[in-house]
């Protein structure tokens, strides 16, 4: 019996030594220390032993069981520790590795131009007003002196939802909406940036959707010279101090008189070149003195108040400023194009 227990102990301890993982160790534990294991069997057979042998063999069986259990437990702790060490080693981070660069975006050139124009006019005492992109026929046309049968409506082919509801064709309806809010009391001094829509065919200089910035100043004694002064100040701040403007007679139903405003060509300094079609000037916006009928329709007394208004295409401003040859670059979202407009 003694030899058998010693052999069992040596065999178990050898298997503990060989166990490479917790699963193998658990098998040793069950095989030698479990209820159906050989040591339990020895203890169960104690009754058959003599009275002298019983305590000796009993003690020995207990010792063998204890030593196997102790070895299994300590091997288990060692395996757990080794597993943790291995995990730590495999998950270690090399903090000296350079990080992957994050591509920083940039402000869209049209947004940048709108912000720059806003800043220039805020500096001249204007505030920013906005209006809806889905507009009523009344504000888009009628309140601007363009009744339903007016031929000048053809200048702005429109996207209609119903007979009365359309995508606004210009930012001028914000003029009428803003004046109504002021309830006949000046001064009104706002600029209104926003998207507009026309049934124009897309080409290098036209888009069916583009942006405009409207300007409106209504007060007592506002004169054409005020319009010229404000636009000249703006042109010099936006395009450069050396640039000049000129006003040419034009027609808009909502202004009288109406003008087209040209800025001297930045490429040739006004001498004439391919860019300005050899005229020395480039057209940038439409403007004029607010028509008395428009003032009256929006609740202003046209014998007391006068005003000027202007409307410019944002894409056109951006194309002139950055020498961009195709309006479609603004909408195709090619990052090689957009990344050139990173601001510091």
The binding site for Mg(2+) comprises: 256
Interface with ligand FA5 by CB under 6 A: which residues? 170, 172, 198, 200, 206-207, 210, 212, 214, 252, 255, 285-288, 309-313, 315-316, 327
**Closer residue to ligand FA5 (CB): 153 or 206:** 206
**Closer residue to ligand FA5 (CB): 194 or 286:** 286
**Minimum separation from the CB atom of position 96 to ligand FA5 (A):** 53
**Closer residue to ligand FA5 (CB): 5 or 213:** 213
**Minimum separation from the CB atom of position 259 to ligand FA5 (A):** 8
Task: Kindly tell me the burial class for residue 105, based on how many C-beta atoms sit within 10 Å of its own C-beta (0-12, 13-18, 19 or more).
Answer: exposed
**Minimum separation from the CB atom of position 101 to ligand FA5 (A):** 36
- Closest residue to ligand FA5, judged by C-beta, is 313
Q: Comparing C-alpha atoms, which of 63, 311, 80, 71 is closest to residue 174?
A: 311
**Closer residue to ligand FA5 (CB): 32 or 126:** 126
Question: Do the Cβ atoms of 318 and 307 come closer than 8 Å?
Answer: no
Close Cβ partners of 59 (under 8 Å, ≥ 6 residues apart): none
Q: What number of residues does the chain have?
A: 344
Segments of the chain assigned E as strands = 127-128, 134-136, 165-167, 188-197, 209-219, 245-252, 255-264, 281-290, 306-313
**Minimum separation from the CB atom of position 290 to ligand FA5 (A):** 8
In degrees and rounded to multiples of 5, residue 67 shows phi and psi of -70, -40
**Minimum separation from the CB atom of position 209 to ligand FA5 (A):** 8
Spatial distance between the Cα atoms of 320 and 307, rounded to a whole number of angstroms = 28
Residue ranges of the annotated binding site are: 256
Question: Do the Cβ atoms of 164 and 148 come closer than 8 Å?
Answer: no
Measured between its terminal Cα atoms, the distance across the chain in Å is 90
Q: Which long-range contacts (CB under 8 A, 24 or more apart) does 269-277 make?
A: 269/242, 270/244
**Minimum separation from the CB atom of position 235 to ligand FA5 (A):** 14
């Amino acid at each position: 019996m003694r030899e058998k227990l010693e052999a069992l102990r040596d065999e178990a301890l050898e298997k503990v030594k060989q166990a490479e993982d917790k699963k193998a160790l658990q098998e040793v534990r069950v095989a030698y220390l479990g209820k159906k294991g050989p040591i339990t069997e020895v203890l169960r057979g104690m009754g058959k032993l003599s009275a002298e042998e019983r305590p000796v063999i009993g003690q020995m069986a207990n010792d063998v069981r204890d030593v196997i259990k102790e070895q299994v437990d300590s091997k288990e702790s060692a395996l757990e520790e080794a597993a943790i060490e291995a995990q730590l080693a495999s998950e270690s981070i090399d903090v000296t590795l350079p990080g992957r660069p994050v591509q920083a975006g940039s402000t869209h050139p049209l947004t940048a131009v709108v912000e720059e124009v806003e800043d220039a006019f805020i500096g001249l005492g204007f505030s920013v007003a906005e209006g809806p992109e889905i507009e009523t026929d009344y504000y888009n046309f009628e309140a601007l002196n363009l009744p339903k049968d007016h031929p000048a409506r053809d200048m702005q082919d429109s996207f209609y939802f119903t007979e009365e509801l359309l995508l606004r064709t210009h930012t001028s309806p914000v003029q009428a909406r803003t004046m109504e809010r002021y309830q006949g009391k000046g001064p009104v001094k706002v600029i209104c940036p926003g998207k507009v829509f026309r049934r124009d065919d897309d080409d290098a200089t036209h888009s069916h959707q583009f942006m405009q910035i409207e300007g409106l100043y209504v007060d007592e004694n506002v004169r054409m010279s005020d319009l010229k002064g404000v636009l000249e100040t703006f042109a010099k701040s936006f395009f450069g101090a050396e640039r000049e403007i000129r006003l040419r007679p034009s027609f808009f139903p909502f202004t009288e008189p109406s003008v087209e405003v040209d800025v001297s060509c930045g490429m040739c300094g006004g001498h004439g070149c391919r860019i300005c079609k050899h005229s020395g000037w480039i057209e940038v916006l439409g403007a004029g003195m607010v028509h008395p009928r428009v003032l009256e329709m929006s609740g202003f007394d046209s014998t007391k108040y006068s005003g000027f208004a202007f409307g410019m295409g944002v894409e056109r401003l951006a194309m002139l400023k950055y020498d961009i040859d195709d309006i479609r670059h603004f909408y195709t979202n090619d990052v090689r194009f957009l990344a050139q407009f990173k601001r510091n």
